[in-house]
Amino acid sequence: MKLLEGKIAIITGASRGIGRGVARIFAEQGADVAFTYSSSAQAAEELEKELSALGVRAKGYQSNAADFDQAQQLVDQVLVDFGNIDVLINNAGITKDNLLMRLSESDFDSVIEINLKSVFNMTKAVQRTMLKNRKGSIINMSSVVGVKGNAGQTNYAASKAGVIGFSKSVALELGSRNIRCNVIAPGFIETEMTAKLGEEVVKVWRDAIPLKRGGTPEDVANACVFLASELSSYITGQVINVDGGMLT
Ligand code: NAP
C-alpha cells in the first residue's frame, strides 16, 4: 500500500537537491505534489513531467518563499489547482557562509528571510485550510547546524535554530486541531549545496560520520514520508536528525 495515497503536498524548493528527492518519493508513495522553485524553470518543468509519469498530479510554481504575499498567492493558486492541502514541507533554503568578522548585514538578512521567514509565510498561508480540515502535517527543514551551531555559519545556524523554535510553538498552538508540526535536521546530505565544498572537505565530513557516508536526498525524503503519513499520527513538536549519527 502507498503511504501517502490521496494526500496533497506542497514542497518548497524542489527543483533540485533534497526537495527534488522528497517530491519524487512523495509521488512514488501516491501523493499529489505542488512544488516551488526560485529560478530553475527548466528543472521544474522536467520534475513536473517525471512526477506526472508516476500517475499523480504535479505542478511547479515559481514563488519566492521569503515573500509574504507571494506565499499567500501560491497557496491560493494551489487550492484552485489541487482543491486541498494536507502536507506542507518547508524545504527551500540557502547558505551564505562567512566568518562573523566578514559577514555582511545583507547576507545575514537574506539567509534569515529565505530560511526562516519563509517558514512563517508558508505556515500562515496554509493554516486556514488545515484548521478547516482539522488535520495537517507541517514538516520544516532545519539542519544539524541549527541544533549544534557551526563556525562560519552564524546566519544559517540562527535561521535553522529559529525554525526549530517556530515549529515547536506551532505544534503547541495547533495540536488541539490535529495539525502536527515536526522538524527534520539533516546532517551532511550530498546535493548542489554541499557540492560547493572541496573534495578534501567532503572526505573529512564523511570520515567523521558514524555511518561513514554522506546522506542522500532519499534518506531525508523517507523521514518526510513518515512524518507526512498516518504512521506518525501521534508525533508532533519533534526534531528528527537525519545525519548518519553525526550528532551522536
Ligand atoms: P539546494 O540543492 O541548494 O536546493 C535549494 C532549493 O531551494 C532549490 O530548489 C531552489 O530553487 C530553492 N530555493 C532557493 N531559494 C528559494 C526561495 N527564495 N524561494 C523558493 N525556493 C527557493 O539545497 P539542498 O541541499 O537540497 O537543501 C534543501 C534544504 O535542506 C535547505 O533548507 C537546507 O538548508 C537544508 N539542509 C541541507 C543540508 C545538506 O547537506 N544539503 C543539510 C542540512 C539542511 P532554484 O533551483 O530555483 O534556485
CA of 91 to the centre of ligand 1 (A): 6
| Residue at 69 is within a domain | yes
pLDDT average, residue stretch 153-173: 99
Whether 156 is catalytic is yes
| Residue at 206 is within a domain | yes
Which residues, judged by CB distance below 6 Å to any ligand atom, belong to the binding site of ligand 1? 12-19, 36-40, 64-66, 91-94, 114, 141, 143, 186, 188-189, 191-194
pLDDT average, residue stretch 216-227: 98
Mutation choice for ligand 1 from 91, 144, 160, CB with most ligand atoms inside 8 A: 91
Residue 145 has pLDDT above 80, yes or no: yes
More confident residue, 9 or 1: 9
| Residue at 209 is within a domain | yes
Residue 64 has pLDDT above 90, yes or no: yes
Q: pTM value? A: 0.98
| Residue at 1 is within a domain | no
Number of domains the chain is built from: 1
| Residue at 247 is within a domain | no
What CATH number does residue 80 fall under? 3.40.50.720
Query: pLDDT confidence of 194, banded at 50, 70, 90?
Result: confident
Mutation choice for ligand 1 from 18, 46, 213, CB with most ligand atoms inside 8 A: 18
| Residue at 71 is within a domain | yes
CA atoms within 13 A of residue 63's CA, in its CB half-sphere? 29
What is the predicted pLDDT for the residue at 197? 83
Tell me the residue range of the domain where 84 lies. Answer: 8-241
Of all protein residues, whose CA lies closest to atom 2 belonging to ligand 1? 17
| Residue at 83 is within a domain | yes
As to burial, measured by CB atoms within 10 angstroms (0-12 exposed, 13-18 middle, 19+ buried), residue 210 is exposed
List the strands of the sheet with 179-186, edge to edge. 58-62, 32-37, 8-11, 87-90, 136-141, 179-186, 239-242
| Residue at 98 is within a domain | yes
